[in-house]
Amino acid sequence: MDTNTTNPGLAPSNQAGLIYSGDYQIKALTIITSDGQVVDIKNNYVELNIYEDLFGACMTGTVLMGDALDLIANFKIHGNEWLQIDIDKPTLDKPIQKVFRVYKVSNREFKTASLQNYILHFCSEELVLSSQRFLSKSYKGMIISDMVKDVMLNQLGVSGPKSSTGLWDKTTGLFNIIIPRMNPLEAIQWLSTRAYSSDGTLFMFFENRDGFNFVAYETLLKIPIYQKYFKTPKLSTSAQDNINSVNFLRIIQDFDILASGRYGAFGSSLLSYDFVNRKFSGTTFDPNNFTLLNDNLPINSTKNRFNVPLLGNSDYLLKFYPTSDSDPKINGSHPENWLQKKAMKLAQLFQFKMVISIPGDILMKVGRIVDVELPKAVPQNSAGNQVSETRSGSYLVSAVHHIFINDTSTTVMELLSDSVSGTLNAPLDNSPTMKAVKQR
């Protein structure tokens, strides 16, 4: 709810507290032109969208404009403008405060002689800056996290809260790396694939409301669960009671054993060739050795007609990597510490994907862990609300979409999970029924 406008049917704007669970306050929504002009668009926007993505380096967003002042012509908007956002919930005092770069105008339509609609697209300045620069640099005997920080600070010029308030993990392993003419953000993502630590397999570089983060998946799992959400009917008119209710839920990805096997979720192997000693070596990887969100991987140990289970089969995914790690004069690449492990963890993490929407929560950000209680489909005359035990549980927030429209806000989240709660049914491979089925 924008307190600078009159909203019939809502509480007066000077009344303190949260009246509806989707209430919000836009304190600033301002375009700053390259010649220093300041344009307040709080009364011109129709819809504001802000996006965060765990697998995308920078925040982005759009503003749908209902413009009767022809701001594009009068202020000569052309892509060298900045958008200042300061948005909060009533009495929360923990706003999203960001400055973005306006980089695109789309869907421009003239409705009347004086009114036009269009969409302003914006992103973090670092995304534009990265497209303007190329990085060719060598690092010798350094850990990956220090290389990433060097690119962020010295090649992108990130400073202030953006560089200091996010999560930052230190990696292990000394590397000699040459970055061959890449954009800074491309270089960071490329470096991230080689990052590992004593207990970290999947490192991610991303921006959320706190700033830039370089963090291991395993670190995110150690942070307390942010909130538990329920897909149940709303029985209360209290804003606070409805703050963790799910308005919309869709399962995007459930189990797919063919894709999971192909990408190594259930097992994989690495074949290395040492150029110094001219020797091949092989390493197999056990999917049970990874840290999980919930109790177990979503597969049991059922065996096929050749008495081989899906789980733990190292023939699923084979990668080849040439090395010279045995040369004492260089810092080795050690692909066994990151190449397969990262691929397997990503494959596991995309076992389940769902999208849910909740009343607007500006504190929601990618990287959080949430609990979701999924309902079990039952006849309408059944007593009580039954819960799907295996699919309910902890999920990683991989994408966030904040929507501010009219007098209410909504937060849409993409959630991922690598596991199920509890144990699956134990296989009965030797039963007459199963033996007969497998031979058909």
Same domain, 19 and 119: yes
Confidence of residue 240 (pLDDT cuts 50, 70, 90): low
| pLDDT average, residue stretch 232-258 | 79
Same domain, 77 and 148: no
Q: Bigger pLDDT: 331 or 124?
A: 124
Query: What is the CATH classification number for the domain harbouring 110?
Result: 2.30.300.10
Same domain, 14 and 98: yes
| pLDDT average, residue stretch 46-51 | 97
Report the percent of the chain where pLDDT is more than 70: 91
Q: What is the DSSP code (8-state) at residue 336?
A: G
Confidence of residue 3 (pLDDT cuts 50, 70, 90): very low
Same domain, 22 and 163: no
Interatomic CA distance for residues 96 and 208, integer angstroms: 10
The answer to whether position 329 is within a domain reads yes
Same domain, 209 and 69: no
Q: Give all strands (DSSP E) within 187-325, no chain letters.
A: 203-208, 211-216, 228-230, 248-253, 268-274, 279-285, 317-323
Q: Which residue intervals of 152-299 are DSSP H helices? A: 161-164, 184-192, 217-222, 257-262
Domain edge (last residue) among 349, 381, 398: 349
Same domain, 159 and 13: no
The answer to whether position 176 is within a domain reads yes
Interatomic CA distance for residues 351 and 424, integer angstroms: 15
Given a cut of 80, is residue 374 above it in pLDDT? Answer: yes
Given a cut of 60, is residue 6 above it in pLDDT? Answer: no
Same domain, 31 and 78: yes
**Quick one: tokens of 37?**
């002009």
Query: What is the CATH classification number for the domain harbouring 209?
Result: 3.55.50
Given a cut of 50, is residue 8 above it in pLDDT? Answer: no
| pLDDT average, residue stretch 430-440 | 79
Same domain, 173 and 281: no
| Pairing between β-strand 317-323 and β-strand 268-274 as defined by DSSP bridges | parallel
Same domain, 366 and 379: yes
Domain edge (last residue) among 219, 246, 274: 219
Residue-number span of the structural domain to which 284 is assigned? 257-349
Q: Which whole-number Å values give the CA distances from 423 to 313, 352, 370, 427, in the listed order?
A: 20, 16, 20, 11
**Quick one: tokens of 98?**
């960001």
How many structural domains are present in the chain? 3
Same domain, 324 and 369: no
**Quick one: tokens of 105?**
């105008």
The answer to whether position 280 is within a domain reads yes
Q: What angle do CA 29, 32, 38 make, to 5 degrees?
A: 80
The answer to whether position 316 is within a domain reads yes
Same domain, 25 and 150: no
- Name, in order, each residue with C-beta under 8 angstroms of 54's C-beta and a sequence gap of 6 or more: 204, 206, 366, 367, 396, 397, 398, 399
Q: Which of 2-16, 21-35, 263-277 has the lowest mean pLDDT?
A: 2-16
Same domain, 76 and 96: yes
The answer to whether position 156 is within a domain reads yes
Interatomic CA distance for residues 136 and 151, integer angstroms: 11
DSSP per position, 140-192: EEE-HHHHHHHIIIIIS---THHHHSS-BPPP---EEEEEEEE-HHHHHHHHH
Domain edge (last residue) among 194, 219, 244: 219
Given a cut of 80, is residue 255 above it in pLDDT? Answer: yes
The answer to whether position 115 is within a domain reads yes
CA 339 to chain centre: 21
Q: Which of 198, 206, 188 is nearest to 144 (CA)?
A: 188
